[in-house]
Amino acid sequence: MASADTARLALRNLRVGRPDGTFILDIAGLKAEPGQCIGVRGPSGAGKSMLLMAMAGLLEGAAGDLRWGQTDLLTRNSGARAAFRQTHVGMIFQDFLLFDELSALANASVSLGFVKVGDRAAIKARAANWLRQLGLQDLDRPVASFSGGERQRVAVARALANDPAILLADEPTAALDWYTADRLSTDLIQAARSGNKTLIAASHDTSFLDRMDRIITLDHGRMVEGAA
Ligand SMILES: Nc1ncnc2c1ncn2[C@@H]1O[C@H](COP(=O)(O)OP(=O)(O)OP(=O)(O)O)[C@@H](O)[C@H]1O
Ligand SMILES: [Mg+2]
């Protein structure tokens, strides 16, 4: 499912405005090659989460030229953007967005409902593999009873279960202890490099950021360091 070309990002003049005419995001340019891992850092409120949402085509008000391979995402309507996300993007949200009443395995393989019957077994198998790889065992228990760090790992497994070309991760290690964070960082980076996926991850975790190929720094919605 992952296509190397889809993982190639070319972004120019990305802007997300506020009603008062100022910008939540105003990014002149950013490129990423398939297999590359890019860290996004910056103070709280700098626009890291908004940048990841814009790159996933989740912000209605985003304007500019945002290409993943041949796909000019911001010119597509919301249905086409959703279809692109479903096929190509694995997203780890800052607040996880899990279904509490569903089990770890059902959450991690939730994209089953959106794919052809023939693709379902592979997604379920990958979801179960990732959950175990990330150190979770009780895959059938509702995630309402999971700890914060366990929920975070379920969200990571869900993002990887579809084998997407693009991984967008919002503080994926924030709820984890040092050891679990380190293991999860290794897994995410390895999944990106070996699968020719582009990983873009917002983080305050310096040991995670240090392992990225590149780091960009945002401040007040602008890229103040790391532009390429
Ligand atoms: N709908 C909105 N209208 C106006 N401002 C908004 C809207 N949504 C987000 N913002 C603002 O945009 C800025 C960037 O938010 P964002 O969530 O991207 O920050 P962040 O860098 O991810 O911060 P954190 O490290 O706390 O997660 C914040 O000041 C936020 O309040
Ligand atoms: Mg954020």
How far, in Å, is the centroid of ligand 2 from the Cα of 46?
8
Q: Are 143 and 154 in contact (CB under 8 A)?
A: yes
Question: Is the torsion defined by CA of 46, 90, 199, 132 positive or negative?
Answer: positive
Q: Is the CB of 49 under 6 A from ligand 1?
A: yes
Name the residue at shortest CA distance from atom 31 of ligand 1.
Answer: 45
- Does the C-beta of 50 come closer than 6 Å to ligand 1? yes
Look at residue 12 in the predicted model and tell me its pLDDT.
97
Give, as one character, the DSSP assignment of residue 6.
Answer: G
Domain count of the fold of the chain = 1
Q: Which residues surround ligand 2, an ion (CB under 5 A)?
A: 48-49, 94
Distance, in Å, from the CA atom of 141 to the CA atom of 106, rounded to the nearest integer, reads 10
CA dihedral over 217, 95, 99, 176, signed as positive or negative: positive
- Distance (Å, whole) CA 219 – CA 41: 9
Angstrom distance (rounded) from CA 194 to CA 207: 21
CATH number of the domain where residue 162 is located: 3.40.50.300
- This prediction has a pTM of 0.94
State residue 42's pLDDT score: 97
- Domain range enclosing 83: 5-225
| pLDDT digit string, tens, across residues 123-174 | 999 999 999 999 999 999 999 999 999 999 999 999 999 999 999 999 999 9
Mutate to test the pocket of ligand 1, among 18, 22, 24, 168 (most ligand atoms within 8 A of CB): 24
pLDDT tens digits, one per residue of 16-71: 999 999 999 999 999 999 999 999 999 999 999 999 999 999 998 899 999 999 99
Would the CB of 45 count as within 6 Å of ligand 1?
A: yes
- DSSP secondary structure code for residue 199 in this structure: E
